[in-house]
């Protein structure tokens, strides 16, 4: 399955609030009789580390195989003196499916670099988590027309040291293109602009790995995605999904957004 709509809860929701979200979310599913397992996309949510366990329990109880579980980071080592980090082994015990790596908030405010992104990505691949590697330009770079150069360099460096054989043919890598100026601003990139950048990213993946891997890799768009703009975004050829922040926090908002997504069938 190449199309994905993933929620990134960032530093929001306690375990209790997580349980409440899932309870309401499940009711929205059952009351509307919408089955997302039949759609041509999958959905997932990445709560904070402290809420992973309650999210796992809620999914296993009510939404098994319907909602993927994600973490917001992953370390490359199994254990050790790394205060504040979380290891692949710890995430395995929580039934995590995907992991967000190199989000711009981590890059901007917490010293994440392309080098650490590549280490984290490699560890995710080795441990069978889907790495969702985030890239995106600043407003200044966007206005200067540097988007293509910036994302190409970020892709190359963030995936340095990763080979085609690290990526299984099933498409176990995902990229999230998130222009920094669009995150949390209510100002999403236009579907046409995003499509253009996604095509550049796919071309780059094909140069680094192969066209098969490039075609199997979901390239998600992130930055102010909501129920009102997902339809047009998801109908673009190279936009295989969304990484959603604010609009994934409220069950009804996220449900509406999912309902409005329309990915082409091929």
Residues marked as catalytic: 103, 178
Q: Is 32 helix (H, G, I), strand (E, B) or coil?
A: helix
**Residue of 8, 72, 118, 195 that binds ligand PGA (CB under 6 A):** 8
Options 171, 222, 241, 251; binder of ligand PGA; rule CB under 6 A: 222
If we measure between CA atoms, which residue out of 89, 96, 107 comes closest to residue 46? 96
Stretch that binds ligand PGA, among 38-46, 49-57, 218-226, 256-264 (CB under 6 A): 218-226
- The pattern of x and - marking residues 148 through 187 that bind ligand PGA according to CB under 6 A reads ------------------------------x----xx---
What does the block give as tokens for 176? Answer: 């999230």
Q: Among residues 6 and 213, whose Cβ is nearest to ligand PGA?
A: 6
Work out which of 167, 225, 230, 239 binds ligand PGA, going by CB under 6 A.
Answer: 225
Beta bridge partners of 6: 44, 243
Residue 251 is encoded by which pair of tokens? 């069950």
Q: Which residue is nearest to ligand PGA (CB)?
A: 245
**Tokens 């959905």 — which residue?**
43
CA distance 133 to 160: 12
Torsion angle, alpha carbons of 18, 104, 75, 238, to 10: 90
Size of the site for ligand PGA (CB under 6 A): 13
Residue 112's closest CA among 87, 133, 143? Answer: 133
Nearer to ligand PGA by Cβ, of 150 and 244: the residue is: 244
Could you tell me the smallest distance in angstroms from the CB atom of residue 210 to ligand PGA? 28
Q: How far, in Å, CA of 197 to CA of 89, rounded?
A: 35
41: nearest Cα among 246, 233, 179: 233
Q: CA-to-CA distance for 102 and 113, rounded, in angstroms?
A: 8
What string marks each residue from 30 to 69 as x (binds ligand PGA by CB under 6 A) or -? Answer: ----------------------------------------
Nearer to ligand PGA, 167 or 247 (CB): 247
Query: In the 8-state DSSP scheme, what is residue 166?
Result: G
Nearer to ligand PGA, 208 or 227 (CB): 227
> How near is the Cβ of 46 to ligand PGA at its closest, in Å?
9
Site string for ligand PGA, 236-255 (x = CB under 6 A): -------xxxxx--------
Q: Using alpha carbons only, what angle is made at residue 91 by residues 164 and 256, rounded to the nearest 5 degrees? A: 85
Binding site for ligand PGA (CB under 6 A): 8, 178, 183-184, 222-225, 243-247
């Amino acid at each position: 399955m190449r199309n994905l709509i993933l929620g990134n809860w960032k530093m929001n929701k306690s375990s209790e609030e997580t349980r409440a979200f899932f309870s309401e979310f499940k009711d929205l599913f059952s009351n509307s009789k919408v089955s997302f397992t039949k759609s041509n996309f999958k959905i997932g949510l990445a709560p904070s580390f402290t809420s992973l366990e309650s999210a796992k329990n809620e999914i296993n109880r009510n939404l098994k195989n319907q909602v993927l579980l994600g973490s917001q980071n992953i370390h490359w080592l199994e254990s050790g003196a790394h205060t504040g980090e979380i290891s692949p082994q710890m995430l395995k015990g929580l039934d995590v499916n995907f992991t967000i790596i190199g989000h711009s908030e981590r890059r901007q405010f917490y010293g994440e670099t392309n080098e650490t992104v590549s280490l984290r990505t490699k560890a995710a691949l080795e441990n069978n988590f889907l790495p969702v590697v985030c890239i995106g330009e600043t407003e200044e770079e966007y206005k200067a027309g540097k988007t293509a150069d910036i994302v190409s360099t970020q892709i190359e460096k963030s995936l340095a040291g990763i080979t085609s054989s690290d990526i299984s043919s099933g498409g176990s890598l995902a990229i999230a293109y998130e222009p920094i100026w669009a995150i949390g601003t209510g100002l999403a990139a236009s579907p046409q602009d995003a499509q253009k950048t996604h095509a550049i990213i796919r071309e780059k993946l094909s140069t680094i790995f192969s066209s098969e891997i490039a075609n199997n890799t979901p390239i998600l768009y992130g930055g102010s995605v909501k129920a009102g703009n997902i339809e047009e975004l998801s109908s673009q050829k190279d936009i295989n999904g969304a990484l959603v922040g604010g609009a994934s926090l409220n069950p009804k908002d996220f449900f509406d957004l999912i309902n409005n997504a329309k990915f082409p069938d091929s």
